[in-house]
Structure 1
Amino acid sequence: MTGTPFFDESFNWRMRATPLAVSTGAPSRKKRLELDDDLDPECPTRKQARSEPQPRPTPCPLLLSPPPAPTHTPAVTATSRLGPYVLLEPEEGSRTYRALHCPTGTEYICKVYPACEALAVLEPYSRLPRHPHVARPSEVLAGTRQLYAFFPRPHGDMHSLVRLRRRLPEPEAAALFRQMASALAHCHQHGLVLRDLKLRRFVFSDRDRTKLMLENLDDACVLTGPDDSLWDKHACPAYVGPEILSSRASYSGKAADVWSLGVALFTMLAGHYPFQDSEPVLLFGKIRRGAFALPEGLSAPARCLVRCLLRREPAERLTAPGILLHPWLRQNAVPTAPSSSRLREADQVVPEGPGLEEAEEAEEAERDVGLYG
């Protein structure tokens, strides 16, 4: 059996499934970034994300239809001006840019979306009341072809921290995980399923790296009632739940989020994923079986919580609000900032291994031979 100690989380994996209705007709978010050449740089249209729950807006066919192809669309450059902002270098392979607010000198992260996705992008924020552990756009500028959402600049993310530190001490892990669980519980209580949940999506809002926020609500699914059944089988391979790999047409979105959060907790405490293999066929087989080995030295409450989250049967897992009541999260409530000496220790770097890009290639090759049963 071959294995890899720690995967990269840099891509999303999609299985063949019936897509959600809300995404029908929407262009791919991996399209090349472009600025609106008709957006007045001095007087852009501004949209502030609402902080109170609002009724769902009536779908507008015009918003969901692709805009006509422009005759000239200038590409984003390293010094593009957008109203009071200057867009700096982009993150490789993404629609995300560093942005500088010129009047104040404050740095932001700018995410760019096609304008026809405005309803899907902004609806989760209109549904969700403000929460200290869920980031929301400070400002949204709308053009005829693009939507620009500006978020506070983070100070790293949990995935990078775990790669650097390998394993987190239980008191520190509990304090950080409590914030992650609080964000998930808030979303579930207000009808949002996050779906693509992983360590990388939780970012630090302070330089000491003690305060976490869910970086955005991209890929969140807005529920229309108490039923949280989903059909779109969308997840990162290391975090995917066994029910998503099954032949069942639908699955509980909330329970799948809890499984992914359990994978995140295990990884924080162990320094590697609970289910790992360089071959997707073997990886998914391990996830379906649901058997994992907890690292030695964990306290009984920590072991109990991990097991309550990584249960094969979705109905047997804790709910997101129930996680916050677990005894392990009631002790050592205040996280401590890691010392600079610990952060520099070379032996704490996660060992190298095949990334998820390699796993994705292997998965595509196996998909036509009944990988998903």
Structure 2
Amino acid sequence: MSVNLVTPTLPLRLKRVDFEDAHDSGAFKCKRPRLSQPPSPGLAPCLRPLSQSPGPADPGDHCVSRIGPYVLLEPTEGTQTYRAVHHVTEQEYICKVTSVKKYQELIAPYTQLSAHENISQISEVVMGEKNIYIFFERNYGDMHAYVRTCKRLQEDEAVLLFGQMAAAVAHCHKSGVVLRDLKLRKFVFTDRQRTKLVLQNLEDSCLLDGEDDSLTDKHGCPAYVGPEILNSRHSYSGKAADVWSLGVVLYTMLVGRYPFQDVEPAALFSKIRRGVYTIPDTLSARAKSLVCCMLRKVPSQRLEASDILLHPWLHCSTSNPCHQLSSRTSSDQVVPDFTDSEDSN
């Protein structure tokens, strides 16, 4: 197989693969039902248990594929992402597969952002006839899975991790990128010790034209969506909506469950519209303050992402933490499973 190098139009390593792709581009269509559509019956997407495979996989569904210098192995979460290995260096990567038509839309947020230690960088792009393969450095799991395993985090650990998440969001906002579908699962660990985080998934981001961050497109993970998106028939502040989602992220990390939960989507959205939630007394005063500053019903009253980084709670040292949470074994603190439908917004 020959690989022809092409002149990149973006600051990335681009390669073209001159053979027919092993993956059908039709299999990578992105489904994005809007929140304005009538909710489907059953559990909200973020609250459903992990779906089980419908049966033995068809051998033709996936096989080991050679894509340029990479070997694509088994799929990871979702149908568009695969574990990959460079056949020369044997270094592991994560490969995101997209159609040629979707490539520019997917790549745009990464090219607009300058390098940041808490935002994943694209390692290489390999172009096929039907699909384009985007390679990222491997990760060691996402924050949603980690919180599920821990039940909830001690505040000193949460300070270190949430500070990195807030820094990534602040950098995006400063660069004119609104994330829109912000949630725990979009942050992944880059080290085995699970101390370093990057924001890896920018697929649903919106690039702003100037200072105006008004958006009208309404989609997102139900558990993380802001009340103004559910209430407003007009535009809303994209940055303020991101801050609300970041508040849900912090609450879930510290408490071990979403601030707004219900098995019925209509009831869940009703709770979010009211904006009423409870904060356990086990949290420190500073932690409660930061959560409340982000989960304010009125968008204009929320902290901006850059201001979150100045909050006193984020400046507690690990040697003198703000407050130690009680035992993680409380049976009522459960972060729901996610499913592939969480990615379909």
Structure 1 length normalisation: TM-score?
Answer: 0.73
For 1:357 and 1:154, the matched residues in 2 are separated by 19
Distance of aligned partners of 1:326 and 1:347 in 2 relative to their CA distance in 1, 3 Å threshold: closer
2:205 is the counterpart of 1:257? no
For 1:296 and 1:171, the matched residues in 2 are separated by 17
* Identical aligned residues as a percent: 53
2:123 is the counterpart of 1:138? yes
1:141–1:147 Cα contact (<8 Å) kept? yes
Counterparts of 1:241-256 in structure 2, within 5 Å, are 241-256=226-241
2:257–2:334 Cα contact (<8 Å) kept? no
CA-to-aligned-CA distance 1:217-250 (integer Å, 9 cap, x gap)? 2111111111111111011010000001013221
Q: Give the Å deviation of 1:282.
A: 1.1
Code of the residue aligned with 1:75 in structure 2: it is: H
Q: Give the Å deviation of 1:74.
A: 4.1
Q: Which residue does the alignment assign to 1:31?
A: none
Q: Among 204, 208, 221, which residue is 1:236 paired with?
A: 221
For 1:194 and 1:203, the matched residues in 2 are separated by 16
Q: Among 218, 223, 234, which residue is 2:203 paired with?
A: 218
Q: Which residue does the alignment assign to 2:143?
A: 158
Q: Give the Å deviation of 1:332.
A: 2.2
For 2:182 and 2:335, the matched residues in 1 are separated by 23
1:159–1:200 Cα contact (<8 Å) kept? yes
2:21–2:131 Cα contact (<8 Å) kept? no
CA-to-aligned-CA distance 1:169-227 (integer Å, 9 cap, x gap)? 11100110000000000000000000110000000000000000001321111111111
Q: Give the Å deviation of 1:145.
A: 2.2
Q: Secondary structure at the match of 1:43?
A: strand
Q: Among 95, 108, 111, which residue is 2:93 paired with?
A: 108
CA-to-aligned-CA distance 1:21-55 (integer Å, 9 cap, x gap)? xxxxxxxxxxxxxxxxxxx653364748538xxxx
Q: Which residue does the alignment assign to 2:252?
A: 267
Q: Secondary structure at the match of 1:267?
A: helix
Distance of aligned partners of 1:140 and 1:277 in 2 relative to their CA distance in 1, 3 Å threshold: same
CA-to-aligned-CA distance 1:317-366 (integer Å, 9 cap, x gap)? 00000000000001126899xxxxx9xx9878964868778999xx9xxx
Distance of aligned partners of 1:269 and 1:48 in 2 relative to their CA distance in 1, 3 Å threshold: farther
Q: Secondary structure at the match of 2:85?
A: strand
Distance of aligned partners of 1:92 and 1:255 in 2 relative to their CA distance in 1, 3 Å threshold: closer
Show structure 2 runs of 5+ residues with no match: 13-19, 25-61, 322-326
Show structure 1 runs of 5+ residues with no match: 1-39, 52-71, 337-341, 364-373
Code of the residue aligned with 2:64 in structure 1: it is: T
Q: Which residue does the alignment assign to 1:197?
A: 182
Q: Which residue does the alignment assign to 1:42?
A: 3
2:257–2:335 Cα contact (<8 Å) kept? no
Q: Give the Å deviation of 1:104.
A: 0.4
Q: Among 293, 297, 312, which residue is 1:312 paired with?
A: 297
Structure 2 length normalisation: TM-score?
Answer: 0.78
1:205–1:211 Cα contact (<8 Å) kept? yes
2:271 is the counterpart of 1:286? yes
2:131 is the counterpart of 1:170? no
For 2:93 and 2:21, the matched residues in 1 are separated by 24
For 2:185 and 2:248, the matched residues in 1 are separated by 12
Q: Which residue does the alignment assign to 2:40?
A: none
Distance of aligned partners of 1:334 and 1:215 in 2 relative to their CA distance in 1, 3 Å threshold: farther
For 1:107 and 1:273, the matched residues in 2 are separated by 33
C-alpha root-mean-square deviation of aligned residues, in Å?
2.9
Distance of aligned partners of 1:132 and 1:333 in 2 relative to their CA distance in 1, 3 Å threshold: farther
Runs of 4+ in 1 over 4 A off after TM superposition: 44-49, 333-336, 345-360
Q: Secondary structure at the match of 1:100?
A: strand
